[in-house]
Amino acid sequence: MPYLSASNNPWLNDAVEGISTQNIYVDPGASGGQAISDALVGVVPDDGSIAVVVLPEVAGKNIPYSSYILERLTAAGDHDTVIVAVGDDLQAASSAIDGDDALRIANENESSGGSLRDQLVETVQEISAETPTSPGGGDAGVGGAVIPLVIGGVVLVAAAVTAFGLIARRRRTPAVSTDPVPAGIRLRVNRLRELRADYAAVPGSPVAAETAAGIDALASHVEQLFIRLDAKAGEDQSVLAEAEYSDKLARLVAALDRDYLLDLLTRPDLWDAPDERIAEVREALSSVTTQIVDNIKQVNARKGLLFQVSLDSLIGRSELRDWERQFKQSSGE
């Protein structure tokens, strides 16, 4: 199945637009939508910290992976927490509390047996209760409005805009998640680990086995990078890494997903130039992993991060280009 785009997934497109101006978006096609909306009005904070989106089950058909809609909505707005219900599937992502805790709360309420309205209300209340309150107006973060982004003599203007937006969002919520891995990066790492299991399950394919090992190494190294940045580096370096790898990991997730590399390995007869395509993705996986290892060494040596890897070969593939464009649009790049 092809990846969805904004034009052929109107539910997601409308939701992205909806939460740009409001904290609650309930699709007109969602079952019991008015009752859900009325119940949420009484519990969702009006400070913009939490957004809740309710979509009909059909909105989740043919998406690239299970957290795709949540990831798009998290990137599209500036809410600290996003809670999404697609049919009866309930998910949440948060930068105000541990991202895994937010997802756990949503999953536990989903399996509670209550109505979707009650599950959403309880999820909002539990995440709100676990969110630390701001201690006041002090700002202990990065002192200036300009972030130095001169890497190898080149000023990365686009990365500067992205990184500045990330710092601005963090400043609004001084409370720091106990997970040093940013919520958006955590979503990608979790998806990589899901894909790792898919590749490991392919019988009799050395390439699939090697890819599974490579995905596992990448996910582990991403976590190590942000853990060490959190312990040893300033916030500006962590934000730079988040801006860099949100993009890189999103491209890799698209290329490694079931509809592309996994399908190439299991049904190469259905693709043109399968060997070339497979080599491109494997090279991208290796290159990003190598760069992250280099970044970890730079953090350990108290040096600034250097980013030199490009994944332009993946963008050149028409099958992946549309998905990449959607990601950039939804993240405001």
* Domain parsing of the chain, residue ranges: 10-130, 150-174+180-330
How many C-beta atoms lie closer than 10 Å to residue 327's C-beta? 20
pLDDT at residue 27, rounded to an integer: 93
C-alpha 287, offset from chain centre: 20
Q: Phi and psi at residue 291, in whole multiples of 5°?
A: -65, -40
Residues in a beta bridge with 81: 50, 94
Q: How confident is the model at residue 46 (pLDDT cuts 50, 70, 90)?
A: confident
268-307: per-residue pLDDT in tens? 999 999 999 999 999 999 999 999 999 999 999 888 899 8
What DSSP state is assigned to residue 153? T
How many C-beta atoms lie closer than 10 Å to residue 309's C-beta? 16
Tally DSSP H helices, then E strands, for the chain: 13, 6
What DSSP state is assigned to residue 30? S
Q: 3-state class of 310 per DSSP? A: coil
Q: How confident is the model at residue 325 (pLDDT cuts 50, 70, 90)?
A: low
52-98: per-residue pLDDT in tens? 999 998 988 877 667 778 888 888 778 899 999 999 899 999 988 88
What DSSP state is assigned to residue 60? G
Q: How confident is the model at residue 322 (pLDDT cuts 50, 70, 90)?
A: low
Q: Are 231 and 219 in contact (CB under 8 A)?
A: no
**Percent above pLDDT 90 for the chain:** 40
Q: Are 212 and 297 in contact (CB under 8 A)?
A: no
What DSSP state is assigned to residue 176? -
Average pLDDT over residues 240-250: 89
What is the side-by-side order of every strand in the sheet holding 81-86? 24-26, 50-55, 81-86, 89-94
